[in-house]
A and B are shown apart, each in its own frame.
Chain A
């Protein structure tokens, strides 16, 4: 299984993401909020694509600030706080 081959397959399917492989876990990092929403809506399809590349688990990395990919400071306030 290869993170790069999965990334390419997801790109061909219209998902703009980075992929990190941790053994048989694929960590999907969306490039923007639109990609995150698209992955969430098509999670079964994304999991199926990842499974075809040998990954038993597929997880969408989430950020503390809605819509942003990079991890923010841990003391960021909760939305609505």
Chain B
């Protein structure tokens, strides 16, 4: 008697085939959109979406017609930068790095619920002239078809500055982008979503370089311990509230494992450490502070 898992049914195979065909059709629509523009600059964080977009753009237009621009600041994790550089090198994506200064804007640093608007306004106000100076008129971001709901004031800033969202135009969802990225061998296909470090600080609590550095150190230390998948270190003054994937909670709530977490996070600068009992929730701090819509 075989002990292997049951094979997928013909119906589920057919459904998967239809999904794959639909994703490929959307990718073809994305390529057509890119060809119509001829040259494109991409706000490039090294996340799942912008990495995929940059790879398709180079594949479609050639490297001479693509520029991936990285905006660097204290809210951009070093690990993310390394991922971005790695993807760019592997897939021959030309990269320009620009320092952004949203931390110097008191409207951003005060951390209002529309904080992302001020960050993205700063980012695009620097990226667009940099692209134009290199003869590139179209500037694009990695917004996808799943990104139209929720609290996203950063999208308002992109809209005001006429930043294009070709993944959204093509109707590509996050799952489809992951599937297509895997097919292309882009290593970010399985990477967790990675919003900026400021998203770990509740609205109304000032964003400072010191706090961002504590959060970044703590998350890096927890990755070093072996925590995989979704991970957030949420800032609550002296207390760090750790969100990890619900499937990881049994492992890390075990006494010795949780002690290792506590030590790692305290070394990063927090006095107290707590593990969220519901695990990772996207937009968790929005729930905590009562923000539900842009």
Contacts and interface: CB of A to CB of B under 8 A. Distances in A.
Contacts of A4: none
Given A25-B236, A71-B271, A58 B276 contact: yes
B274 A64 contact: no
Nearest to B253: A40
Contacts of A40: 249-250, 253-254
Q: How many residues of A sit at the interface, in one of the four size bands?
A: 20 to 34
Contact of B262 (A23, A58, A64): A64
Given A33-B255, A64-B266, A79-B256, A59 B261 contact: no
A54 B261 CA distance: 28
B223 interface: no
Contact of A67 (B255, B263, B273, B277): B255
B274 A78 contact: no
Interface residues of B, number: 30
A71 B275 contact: no
Interface string A16-45: 000000111101100001001101100110
B259 interface: yes
Nearest to A36: B255
Contacts of A61: 239, 272-274
Interface string A38-81: 01100110110000000011111111111100010011101110
Nearest to B261: A62
Interface of B is mostly: helix
A67 B274 CA distance: 14
B69 to A, nearest CB: 36
| Interface of A, helix, strand, loop or mixed by DSSP | mixed
Which of B260, B273, B274, B287 gathers most chain A CB within 10 Å?
B274
B255 A27 contact: no
Nearest to A58: B277
Contacts of B236: 22, 25
A50 B241 CA distance: 16
Nearest to B262: A64
Given A67-B255, A79-B256, A62 B249 contact: no
Interface of A: 22-25, 27-28, 33, 36-37, 39-40, 43-44, 46-47, 56-67, 71, 74-76, 78-80
11 contacts: A28-B274, A28-B277, A36-B255, A40-B254, A43-B253, A43-B278, A46-B277, A60-B253, A62-B258, A62-B261, A80-B256
